[in-house]
Structures are given as C-alpha cells and as structure tokens.
Amino acid sequence: MAQERRVISVIVMNEASVLSRIVGLFSGRGYNIDSLTVAPIPESKYSRITIVTQGSIRVIEQIIKQLHKLIPVLKVYEHENLVEKEMALVKFPVSECLSDISALCAAYNGKIVNVGEDVIIVNVADEPHRVDNFLKAIKRFHPKEIVRSGVVAMEM
C-alpha cells in the first residue's frame, strides 16, 4: 500500500512518562517516527507533541486511534492545511567562503548566528523539504556538524 507522510499533533497532559507512552506506542506497534518535537503549551497544563510519520492510510488511521486511547492524550490532530517549519543548525570551518554561506542562509530564512576562532554556526528555518535542499546545497562547504530540530506545525 502507498506510504503517506503525515504530520500529527498530539496534545497531552504535561506529566511524567507521557512521552514514553507515545514513543512506546509507536515502537510497540511498529509505526515509523520520522521526527518528533515536544514542548509545553504556554500557560496550560498541556504539552504539544508534533510527530512526522509515514504509513498506509489504514496505518495512519490506527496510529491516530491508538494515540486517542492513551489516557493522558487530550486531542490528536491529523493536519491537512498546515504551516510546517523546521530549524537546522550547521557548523562550518571558518576557512570556508563565508559570504557564499551567508548568502545561501539568507535564501532559507537563516543567518550566521555564532562565529568562533575555528568555526562558524548558522541557522536556517524553513519548510522541511527546503531544509533538505539547503543541506544539499551546503555540502561543498564541508559542514562539520548538522543538527535538525524536527518539525513543528500549525493548522491554518
């Protein structure tokens, strides 16, 4: 069956072990997690977990139902119209062509955020597939380290 990519937001009670319940559900039932982000929702007792997953339509439907069954889960949103953003931090040797790197970053809503003696660090924030493109484009500048944040999403 065709694999679909889905972004799912799960609103959960902000309590101990809630993340292990979510992650355990995915591993125990053999579902994929492409990325996962968690943060408390301001001024509430809830947290938002954003999960990017893949599966057939049947599997996605099961994932959503099984998430609903967990006791501390308040809501599960399967996003259709959404804004997705992901951030990446990349470390380059300071010897690379900084103006080229800086120009590339600017094209992906990013900039140089730290300059050290040997390395610079840049960040970009964009749609996940654009972050993919950015990471391809900067390969020739010999990045020393790449950190991606995982996807966050908001319904339009």
Partner 1 sequence: MQISGAQMVIESLIAEDVSVVFGYPGGAIMNVYDEIYKQDGFQHVLARHEQAAIHAAEGYSKTTGKVGVAMITSGPGFTNAVTGLADAYMDSIPMVVISGQVPMSLIGTDAFQEIDAVGISRPCTKHNYLVTDAADLPRVLKEAFYIASTGRPGPVHVDIPKDVTAQIAEFVYPDSVHLETYKPNVKGNLRQIKKAVDAIAASSRPMFYLGGGIINANASDEVRELVKMCNIPAVETFMARGTLRVDDPNLVSMLGMHGSYAANMSMSETDLMIAIGARFDDRVTGKLSEFAKHAQVIHIDIDPASISKLVPADFPIVGDVKNVVNQMLPLAKEKVDGEKYASWRETVANFDKLHPLTYEDSDDVLKPQWVIERIGEILGDDANITTDVGQHQMWAAQFYPFTRPRQFTSSGGLGTMGFGFPAAIGVKRGDPERVSINITGDGSILMNIQELMTAVEYKLPVINVILNNKYLGMVRQWQTMFYDKRHSSTDISLQPDFVMLAESFGGIGYRVKTKEEFDAALKDAVEKNVVALIDVTVNRLENVLPMVPAGGSLFNMMLEYKDK
DSSP run (H or E) holding 53: strand 46-55
The helix/strand count (H/E) of the chain reads as 4, 8
Helices 18-28 and 57-69: angle between axes, nearest 10 degrees: 150
Helices 128-137 and 98-107: angle between axes, nearest 10 degrees: 160
Beta bridge partners of 11: 48, 75
Nearer to partner 1, 10 or 151 (CB): 10
Nearer to partner 1, 48 or 131 (CB): 48
Which range, of 64-72, 78-86, 126-134, 141-149, touches partner 1 by CB under 8 A?
64-72
State the nearest-atom distance from the C-beta of 32 to partner 1, in Å. 18
Give the dihedral sign, CA 136/140/141/143.
Answer: positive
- For partner 1, the binding residues in 74-133 under the rule CB under 8 A are 74
- For partner 1, the binding residues in 9-28 under the rule CB under 8 A are 12-13, 16-17, 20-21, 24, 28
Residues at the site binding partner 1, with contacts judged by CB under 8 A: 12-13, 16-17, 20-21, 24, 28, 58, 61-62, 65-66, 68-69, 71-74
